[in-house]
Structure 1
Amino acid sequence: MATIFASSARRAAPKAVAGARSFSSTPAPQATLRELEQRIKCVQPAAPAPRKITKSMKMVAASRLARAQRSMNEAKQYGAANNAVFEQSEASKSETKVEKILYIVASSDRGLCGGIHSSVSKAARKDIEHGEGQGKEVRVVALGEKPKQQLARGEGAKDIELSFSQIGKSVPTFGDALAIADKIEQEKFDFDKVKVIYNKFVSVISYEASALEIYSPKALAASPAFAAYEVEGDELSADLGSFAMANAIYAGLVEGYAAEISARRNAMENASKNADEMSGKLQMQFNRMRQAAITNELVDIITGASAL
């Protein structure tokens, strides 16, 4: 099981420093033949970096994608179980008014995977500022350093109460999700509803930000269908609420991990293609500059011979 670290995340947003802009009429210097030759060596297929790095990362991501998809298909059953509990209990029809929402933004610590992290961060910020969280008391828990850094920008920094690191190194397990859910419960956040924002795996080339909703044990106990069971005490609703949170976190982490691996594979493939295109353009520019230099030297030689 991967080790997951939790930390409080109340950080002030960095202030932008305005600087004076300067304009110059001097044209930008052109690259010399030696500089172009060095650039070509960096992007050629036989170059040690970065072409080999992007190709290797693409192969590693492709090998991990099949395993991530298998884990995702298994984890979807956990998310389906949550939906069945809340649908059959009619928790959405509970008389408990939703005034406090806990947002769990699930992503990872790793980069080089396109806009996978900004997708969930933008979706969470949009829902908080213009969606269901508008005008309500909001708390945010960030799963991964990347969403924590993005949500810490601007006014959203004050809403981040808890963050977890060491996310995304391997396929998330239910034990990881259970440890995260236990830590959140230890903080004793007061909420009426939980929304887990994660990246939904659509296909190997696309993903979209989605949300899993979890109602509080109080709302679950007050739901019409749940009250029909005549359960004494609040232990059952509390246990169901805790288990539902762990299920939703697990489903969101695993599906987000599959989307991240797929996005990283596509990003490295695009980087390799861009390197090939750049290599061809630089080679053509190098040949033209070299031909122009040879032509100028021949002109100088012929002019000098004519003068003699």
Structure 2
Amino acid sequence: MLARRSLARAAAATVGPSAPTQARNMATLREIELRLKSVRNIEKITKSMKMIASTKLSKAQRAMQAGKAYGLANSEVFANVPSDKPTPNKLFVVISSDKGLCGGIHSSVSKATRRALANAPDSPLVSLPAEDATADPSSPIMVIGDKSKGQLMRNYGENLQLTFNQIGRDIPTFADAAAVADMIVQSGVKYDSIVVVYNKFVSAISYESAVYEVKGEEALRESNAFKVYENEDNATRDLAEFSLANALFAALVEGHACEQSARRNAMDNASKNASDMIGTLQMQYNRGRQAAITNELVDIITGASAL
């Protein structure tokens, strides 16, 4: 009886340490296998989103080319008949979107707005005439898109006057821009000019923040160039609102093209990162599996030698 107990203790001492090690190896391999499956699923999703964004990008670029004609016509009118009245009271209209997974497309316009309100040396307002190159930190802000709204709410929550969402879910239309312009005019916010902050399309892989200033009704009426034509009040008001709708439409379609381009690049980078992670995990899984097989062979050979 005593001999049997001694043999049982010896067997437990021999098997004891190896069992947890094998269990740990199996658990680790199982976790790696599950993670591999998860990363492969993510890779499939990001590749699908990249293909969708590529298709939408081509459509957005065609719409941007058509929409730019509105902005160019607007710029040509005010270039030939400039308004010489300074515009100290500015209203900032920040154009973003409601969707994410598109890189820094939203933070780009948010940072540009913060620099403009802080009158930083690299403020985007430096592209405007010298008399209009500064802004009051308490200037009112209106935001198109929930993403930039959340970013600007942290530091400039008191400046926000109006926010818009569900605009640009598909390719923006002139009706969308006209509706936004109408709500801005009817909001009762006093301004001399409107500074539109948007993302400028540079190429399919790059974009940059830019601003476009639209003169208000009072600035147009008191301009010496516009006084020559003796326009009626209704005509000046309609011109100001129509020029605002034109500028918003051009900025919306260009911002939409930048968003699709950034989303395509972001999903492409995500797919590449997932592929690299799959390679690393696969190598780790193979090494763990080979180590587990080697340990089992060692145990078999050791047991056979003992017999």
State the TM-score, normalized to the length of structure 2.
0.83
> Which residue type is aligned with residue 165 of structure 1?
N
How many Å separate the matches in 1 of 2:225 and 2:57?
Answer: 41
Query: In structure 2, do the counterparts of structure 1 residues 133 and 34 end up closer, same or farther at CA, with 3 Å as the change threshold?
Result: farther
Matched, 1:128 2:117: yes
The within-5 A match list for 1:212-223 is 212-223=212-223
Q: 2:36·2:281 contact (CA, 8 Å) conserved in 1? A: yes
Using the alignment, how far apart are the partners of 1:189 and 1:279 within structure 2? 54
Overall identity of the aligned pairs, in %: 53
Shift in Å, 1:307:
4.4
Partner Cα distance (2:134, 2:35) in 1:
50
Deviations for 1:125-156, whole angstroms, at most 9, x for unmatched residues? 11111244543540111101111111112x21
The CA deviation string for residues 183-225 of structure 1, in whole angstroms up to 9 with x for no partner, is 1111121001111111111111111111111111111222232
Secondary structure of the residue aligned to 1:280 is helix
Residues 1:205 and 2:240 are matched in the alignment: no
CA contact (8 A) 2:47 2:268 kept: yes
Partner of 1:179: 179
Give the letter for the 1:223 counterpart: S
Q: For residue 242 of structure 2, what is the aligned residue in structure 1?
A: 243
**Measured at CA, do residues 148 and 133 of structure 1 come closer, stay the same or move farther in structure 2, by a change above 3 Å?**
farther
SS state at 1:62 partner: helix
C-alpha contact 2:54 2:264 (8 A) present in aligned 1 = yes
User: Per the alignment, in what secondary structure is the counterpart of residue 112 of structure 1?
Assistant: coil
Select the residue among 22, 39, 44 that pairs with 1:43: 39
Map 1:259-270 onto structure 2 (within 5 A): 259-270=258-269
Structure 2 counterpart of 1:65, from 49, 57, 64: 57
How far residue 66 of structure 1 moved from its aligned partner, in angstroms, is 1.6
Secondary structure of the corresponding residue to residue 142 of structure 1: strand
Q: Distance in 2 between matches of 1:248 and 1:141?
A: 15
Residue type matched to 2:36 in 1?
Answer: I
Larger Rg: 2
Aligned in 2, Cα 1:35/1:171: closer, same or farther, shift over 3 Å?
same
The Cα of 1:301 is off from its aligned counterpart by 3.3
Deviations 1:265-285 (A, max 9, x none): 111122112111111110001
Secondary structure at the aligned position of 2:103 is classed as coil
1:156 pairs with 2:152: no
Query: 1:23: which partner in 2?
Result: none
Deviations 1:136-183 (A, max 9, x none): 540111101111111112x21111110011022100000010011111
Distance in 1 between residues matched to 2:102 and 2:50, nearest whole Å: 11
Paired residue type of 2:176: D
More helix by share: 2
**C-alpha displacement of 1:52:** 2.2
Amino acid of the residue matched to residue 34 of structure 2? Q
Give me the whole-angstrom Cα distance separating, in 2, the residues matched to 1:78 and 1:295.
Answer: 71
Structure 1 residue 67, shift from structure 2 partner:
1.4
Contact 1:72 1:255 survives alignment (8 Å): yes
Following TM superposition, by how much is the alpha carbon of 1:73 offset from its aligned partner in structure 2, in angstroms? 0.6
Q: TM-score, normalised by structure 1?
A: 0.83
1:78 shift after superposition: 1.0
Q: How many residues align?
A: 271
Runs of at least 5 residues in structure 1 that lack an aligned partner in the other structure: 1-28
- Unaligned runs of at least 5 residues, structure 2: 1-23, 124-132
